[in-house]
Amino acid sequence: MFVFTVRVEMEKSHAEQWYKFMTQKHIQDVLDTNYFEKAELEIVLSDNDETSRFVSRYYFIEMELYERYLTKYAPKLRAEHSELFGDKVKAERTVSELKEYCFT
């Protein structure tokens, strides 16, 4: 299993609009590509009074699926995000391989 993680940071004044966009549209659009198994959205808790931070994670089973997503869907979805938020949202994207599951 692999994880595509997107960490974002923005001024607090944009957080509510961004959160609505993600939960009402963007995450479902990504899942509708059928390349990802599931998605999660986290709100990062901190004492920072100026910015809001979020982490979204998209799980997929083969690197080939992610590569197809990048080619076929990512440009359009990222453009849509940029059109709404421009440079108001800073994003960092990473891909990792999930090696261990630990439950108690």
pLDDT number for residue 71? 97
* E-only strand ranges, the chain: 2-11, 38-43, 51-60, 89-97
**DSSP β-ladder status, 38-43 and 51-60:** antiparallel
Structural fold of domain 2-97? Alpha-Beta Plaits (3.30.70)
Query: Which tokens is 42 given?
Result: 């986290």
pLDDT tens sequence across 52-90: 999 999 999 999 999 999 999 999 999 999 999 999 999
Domain ranges for the chain = 2-97
pLDDT tens sequence across 4-20: 999 999 999 999 999 99
Residue 50 in 3-state DSSP? coil
pLDDT number for residue 104? 73
pLDDT number for residue 101? 75
pLDDT number for residue 10? 95
